[in-house]
Amino acid sequence: MPLSASARTRLEFQHLTIRELIGDRSEQDLRQRTDPAKWSVFENIVHLASYQPLFLVRLERIQKEEAPAFVRYTAEEDPQFPIDLQKPLAPLLDYLDSRRLALRLELESMNENQLLRTGIHPRFGSMTVTQWTEFFLLHEAHHIYTIFRLLFFNFTDH
């Protein structure tokens, strides 16, 4: 089963919502935490930018290995996350865009057998590449929603 039209469309456009939401807000404002225990808008963006290449690596492992098992991703354990926190906003957004293009091209080039290959999620168990892609998109949507709430309603709870 190929990727759905919905998944392909979200892969192409969903991340662009970040730029629309932040508009012309200053990077300094985006880096401010409204709750010291919760990520700022900027930290949410960094998380999405840092995770995207890791997701591509996971997809590559699924294609090369038989049902590889993955550990739960946490930004605190990702060596790239603190590096990306130091980047200015504009290059970070450009990086997010370029990595998304690589991810899209990889997924869109997969045939049905490749999309049906599985990897083991630590919580959800065996998932096909198609399911991993949906999980990736929903995870990203959750953070975009968090960014929306932080920007417009100053909410920090779940």
120 within a domain of the structure (yes/no): yes
Q: Is the pLDDT of residue 156 over 60?
A: no
Nearest residue to 52 via CA among 88, 96, 118, 91: 96
- Residue 117's alpha-carbon distances to 53, 63, 73, 76, in angstroms, are 19, 7, 20, 29
143 within a domain of the structure (yes/no): yes
44 within a domain of the structure (yes/no): yes
Confidence of residue 154 (pLDDT cuts 50, 70, 90): confident
Q: Is the pLDDT of residue 139 over 60?
A: yes
Contact 52, 103 (CB under 8 A): yes
Please give the pLDDT value at position 68. Answer: 98
What is the residue whose two structure tokens read 């990077």?
27
158 within a domain of the structure (yes/no): no
The separation between CA 156 and the C-alpha centre of its own chain, rounded to angstroms, equals 19
- 92-128 tens-digit pLDDT: 999 999 999 999 999 999 999 999 999 999 999 999 9
Overall average pLDDT of the 127-152 stretch: 98
Confidence of residue 2 (pLDDT cuts 50, 70, 90): confident
157 within a domain of the structure (yes/no): no
Contact 2, 64 (CB under 8 A): no
DSSP code per residue over 65-129: SSS-B-PPP-GGG-THHHHHHTS-HHHHHHHHHHHHHHHHHHHHT--HHHHT-EEEETTTEEEEH
21 within a domain of the structure (yes/no): yes
Q: Is the pLDDT of residue 10 over 70?
A: yes
Confidence of residue 158 (pLDDT cuts 50, 70, 90): very low
Q: Is the pLDDT of residue 157 over 60?
A: no
Contact 59, 102 (CB under 8 A): no
Q: What is the chain's length? A: 158
Please give the pLDDT value at position 155. Answer: 59
The domain of 106 spans: 5-152
Q: Any idea what the CATH number is for the domain that residue 128 is in? A: 1.20.120.450
71 within a domain of the structure (yes/no): yes
How many structural domains are present in the chain? 1
Q: What is the chain's mean pLDDT, rounded?
A: 95
- The tokens of 7 are what? 């998944």
